[in-house]
Amino acid sequence: MDSKPKTIVDSYGRIHDYLRISLTERCNLRCFYCMPEEGIAIRDKKEFMSTEELLFIAKQFVALGVKKIRLTGGEPTIKKDFSNIIHELGKLPVELGLTTNAVMIDKYIDELKAAGIKSINVSLDSLKEERFNAISRRNYFNKIKENITLLIAHDFKVKINIVLIKGTNEDEIIDFIKWSQKDKIAIRFIEFMPFDGNNWNWEKKISYKEILEEVTSHFGFKNIEKLEDSPNDTTRNFRIKGAKGTFGIISSVTNPFCDTCNRIRLTADGKLKNCLFSQSETDLLKAVREGDEIESMILKNCWSKAKERGGYKSFENTEIPNFNNRTMVAIGG
């Protein structure tokens, strides 16, 4: 009898042991690169995973070798049963993390600690109040900054996610890195990526090369340390010499990390996506409700994963109408 542990592997030999679960499509911000200006259709709650269904599906992934789970949204903290979800997931033998806009994170400090969550990613696309409020279409800048300070004070590993968009916030690259010199945070610049409804085009991207050129020009080549990245890291990590924190670049468009990808996504409505850019999904929630086993569905979905970027070799000169994908808020960060 074969007692070898089961793993989720694709046809290129990549083992997938990192699951990102979206708890909700709803968000208390309206960032234009994530949510269309008109918003998204509000659907009946029956179309989404209940807490029990979410936990059941998560356990199936853990049985297949998933070692890390990150909760996303929408905004996960506005999920009605958020405290119970992290409490129950915290019992599983996984590293549990969270991606949030931090508007409400102060209400959950004790629960996060009790669940064993140590790593929290916070989205903050500008250090200028008026600009951030324009990007997010809301007025929570000061609250978010206060809560980031609170997370740092409570010794969470805080990563700040900045989506760089030409003509919007690329002039703040140096300011964000200066922040990493003062505080123990990880600044992460993320290339603007194409999703339904976010008016993406090639000219709006700030590439990995452009970011490094600007940083080198300001700080000097000798003052920039390249850090060792983990085998499945999406980020190319650096530090300014003497800094308390670090900075990194996630270049999904111009310099992708597909060769070492170990990530899979479960949407709030129970669909499995094997790539952020994948146009195909597997309906695990429907199968669970019909009493079908889902292990084979998970393995089949991931085996069919494209070599890179959901089957797109390059996004150059590609416009968003050619994509058959969800909005970012409906996929999960």
E strand or H helix that includes residue 231:
none
Per-residue pLDDT tens for 78-127? 999 999 999 999 999 999 999 999 999 999 999 999 999 999 999 999 99
| Domain membership flag for residue 134 | yes
Residue 236 sits in a domain whose CATH number is: 3.20.20.70
Query: Does the pLDDT at position 170 exceed 70?
Result: yes
Strands (E), the chain: 18-22, 68-72, 95-100, 119-123, 157-164, 186-191, 224-226, 236-240, 246-250, 263-266, 271-273, 282-283
| Domain membership flag for residue 13 | no
| Domain membership flag for residue 3 | no
| Domain membership flag for residue 10 | no
User: Whole domain around residue 139: which residue ranges?
Assistant: 18-331
What is the model's pLDDT at position 199? 57
Per-residue pLDDT tens for 13-42? 999 999 999 999 998 988 877 776 666 777
| Domain membership flag for residue 140 | yes
Least confidently predicted of 61-65, 71-75, 83-87, 189-193: 189-193
| Whether the Cβ atoms of residue 65 and residue 15 lie closer than 8 Å to each other | yes
What is the model's pLDDT at position 1? 43
What is the model's pLDDT at position 38? 66
| Domain membership flag for residue 268 | yes
Query: Does the pLDDT at position 322 exceed 60?
Result: no
- Which pTM value belongs to this model? 0.90
Specify burial of residue 183 (Cβ count, 10 A radius: 0-12, 13-18, 19+). middle
Q: How many domains does the chain have?
A: 1
* Percent above pLDDT 70 for the chain: 85
Please tell me what DSSP assigns to residue 314.
-
What is the model's pLDDT at position 117? 98
| Domain membership flag for residue 126 | yes
Least confidently predicted of 24-33, 288-297, 314-323: 314-323
